[in-house]
Amino acid sequence: MYLDDEFMSSNLSYLGRDTLKTKFGYAPCTMWAPQLEVGRVFDEKNGMKIWVSDDANKIPLRIETPVLVGSIKMDLVKFSNLKHPLHIHP
């Protein structure tokens, strides 16, 4: 992980499978939780969740995390030039 101009090691926990509703349609995903350093930016050690497309692309589709002053949610808004078709269902 790269934060505040430095690289940090982190463990990654597998949370299971999910179907995520995106602006492109419904996408099968795997869910992951990186171990975070509490206190600098993050409020919880295992609070961040990452949804990754469950296909050959392995694209991060959503990241959510609580932080000391609220929360952050990031969604994929555009993609192009993928090596494999993205598995999205209407």
pLDDT (tens digit per residue) in 3-36: 678 787 778 889 999 999 999 999 999 999 988 7
Position 35 scores a pLDDT of 80
Res. 43: pLDDT tops 60:
no
Mean pLDDT across the stretch 60-71? 87
Position 38 scores a pLDDT of 65
> Mind spelling out the 3-state secondary structure of the chain?
CEECCEECCCCEEEEEEEEEEECCEEEEEEEEEECCCECCCECCCCCCEEEEECCCCCCEEEEEEEECCEEEEEECCCCCCCCCCCCCEC
Res. 66: pLDDT tops 90:
no
